[in-house]
Amino acid sequence: MKTFLVINTSFFGDVLLTDPLCRNIKLEYPNSKVIFMVNKSFAEVARYMDGVDEVLCYDKNGENKGLTGFFRFYNKYKVQYKNKIDVAFVIYGNERGIVLSKLFGAKKIYSDNTGLVRLFLDNRSIDYKGRTHTQDKHNTLLELYTGRASAPILMLYLPPREAVVPVDILWQKYNIKSDDKLVAVCTTTKRIEKDMPVAACAELIAGLIQQGKKVVYVGAGEAAVEYVKNLHILNCTDFVDLTNQTTITQLAEVLKRCKAAISVDTGTLHLICALEIPLLALFYVYTEDHLNSWAPKNLYPHRLMAGEELSVDEMLDAIKTMTDERKITDG
């Protein structure tokens, strides 16, 4: 049985976009073991991605911060993993991950890095063969090992049954009924230029209510809290605010119960894709390179809108079409 180590200590969406690599490993080597090393904050993301067998948490902002923290991590796991890893795939050329793979004695190490640590790699510079999308570029690492093309495969996130009860409690708290036509809305990111303008969101929520939808606002952090306050200032209050009320797995369960979702370019957008929920993806940063790298692929049920100023009327039309189509499919 082969053992693979996939290292990605980046953010929410970055981790999810690595799942096609994990799933392709399982297609090539059904009896293999896939260990996923992830930043501690996003352990819930990696743990329930299809294709992942075991999760290693690297607390890069806590106990594993800096060089001392790095060796603390290595010393904790060196007996367990030393010389037991057949292949390591290190995402985004992470130097810490490459060195760690070498210290663990991985037989093969693949990554996209042109610095000094490239001497530890089993590949030279990578020819992506015209691929630009992030998840496709991750799959290229596996191809370097197998010598065979990888399948264009979906991300797939499988939230645990334990997430159901906490969401049931939220549904009771906000008097959400099983036949409510729910639409999830996510409007904030780590970069304000990628956020949906507050006035547009207020107009969107009003239009969704006119369509007979019930809006569930999902967000996390101070930016989302402030955003909701600004919606209230505009007298937009007729929505369920779940800001900071769910874990990642509970957020996934919330999204699964929605007829469709609207999201700006953030981790939640990729989670929606990984759950195969009809998605309206809003990209306010819309350069060709950015869209080619991060916008959802056509594998996912979505509609993409990109531009500095996006039409709320077009958003409403898109959601109506998506929910009507899903009603026909569900029926």
The CA-based angle 294-247-189, given to 5 degrees, is: 35
Residue-level pLDDT, tens digit, the chain, 331 residues: 899 999 999 999 999 999 999 999 999 999 999 999 999 999 999 999 999 999 999 999 999 999 999 999 999 999 999 999 999 999 999 999 999 999 999 999 999 999 999 999 999 999 999 999 999 999 999 999 999 999 899 999 999 999 999 999 999 999 999 999 999 999 999 999 999 999 999 999 999 999 999 999 999 999 999 999 999 999 999 999 999 999 999 999 999 999 999 999 999 999 999 999 999 999 999 999 999 999 999 999 999 999 988 999 999 999 999 888 666 555 5
Domains of the chain as residue ranges with CATH: 3-146 (3.40.50.2000), 165-330 (3.40.50.2000)
Query: Which residue do the tokens 């990554």 mark?
Result: 111
Burial of 258 (0-12, 13-18, 19+ CB in 10 A): buried
Q: What distance lies between CA 11 and its chain's CA centroid?
A: 8
- Report the alpha-carbon distance of residue 169 to residue 176 in Å, rounded: 10
* Predicted structure pTM score: 0.94
DSSP class of residue 33 equals: E
Q: Which two tokens stand for residue 55?
A: 């999760």
Under 8 Å between Cβ of 42 and 15: yes
The CA-based angle 111-113-116, given to 5 degrees, is: 120
Structure confidence at residue 86 (pLDDT): 97
